[in-house]
Amino acid sequence: MKLGTPLIALFATALALTGCSSVGSAPTTGATSKVTVTVAAYPLQFLTERIVGEAGTVTNLTQPGAEPHDLELTAKQIAEMAATDAVVYIAGFQAAVDDAIASTPPKLAIDVTAGLSLLKALPGAETNHATDPHVWLSPANMVTMAQTISAKLSTTKPELASTFAANTTKLVAELGALDASFKTGLSTCSIKAFVTSHTAFAYLANSYGLEQIGIAGLEPSEEPTAARIAEVQKLAKQYGVSTIFFETLASDAVAKSIAGDLGLKTAVLDPIEGITKASAGTNYLEVMASNLKALQEANKCS
């Protein structure tokens, strides 16, 4: 028996059941339902695009290659944001987004920090942050964030809930596998600390038993003081650190100068605040895999 025949028959039956008269016409609800979502930064774009799939469009307020901390919004962007079905953001991360949501409330504001255990901003490291906003650098957090986005979008577009749920199941499996690879890959490191430019990796360090030594504060634009640089050098020696990490979207001058002074290597540890051609991958999962390799090498994990 040829396989093609029953498949074609099934397809025809399915079309008949849904009342479709031609390919691409409306489903049984009468109107083709799509969702429009605005996201505040790249990690949220990654999650939301995967969850929405073909069922809508996702607009990122932060341009690729731009630094999300410093985001400024035009009146036009704020109006467009309020016109979409939902806005996905991290409360306390980007002041412009928090302000826009307060002044021009969108139809649905999804704060992905709901349900996460937030870490306090390190004393002396914060400017306007009470908690550390870099929640996406823990894959386990990304699982919770994906589930939050999917559940909230389903309340506003119940007819798409099964699509969101199916896409989220696949996404969560990939994030779970990433989390497992970090757990295994960082379980046997002989060096327990790593030095980064801006202090973005507390959730990662916390999840996998490492210690982050940040040169600058929570914002990449913060300049470290001479005292902080001296302290980082002292800590780097104390922990036997091999590598000073820098990142793709911010200046590497301070990291390179500290590494030069101490005779250490430099390498990229990417906070994934945006994806550009300079990124070591085309999406969150790929760049995180590259981060894992970089940490394994720097921290001598075998």
Q: In the complex, which residues of this chain contact Zn ion (CB under 5 A)? A: 200
* Residue bearing tokens 């970089």: 294
Q: How far is the CB of 209 from Zn ion (least distance, A)?
A: 22
Q: Which residues contact 184 (CB under 8 A, 6 or more apart)?
A: none
245 contacts 236 by C-beta, under 8 angstroms: no
Sign of CA dihedral 243, 244, 245, 249: negative
Taking CB positions, which residue lies at the least distance from Zn ion?
200
Q: Nearest Cα to 109, choosing from 135, 91, 132?
A: 91
**Which of 153/210 has CB closer to Zn ion?**
210
Q: Nearest Cα to 271, choosing from 175, 179, 205, 210?
A: 205
**Which of 200/215 has CB closer to Zn ion?**
200
Q: How far is the CB of 270 from Zn ion (least distance, A)?
A: 11
DSSP 223: P
Q: How far is the CB of 215 from Zn ion (least distance, A)?
A: 13
Q: How far is the CB of 134 from Zn ion (least distance, A)?
A: 5
* Residue bearing tokens 């962007």: 77
**Which of 106/133 has CB closer to Zn ion?**
133
Structure tokens at 224: 């470290």
Q: What CA–CA distance (Å, rounded) separates 100 from 79? A: 9
**Which of 125/153 has CB closer to Zn ion?**
125
**Which of 106/274 has CB closer to Zn ion?**
274
Q: How far is the CB of 152 from Zn ion (least distance, A)?
A: 24
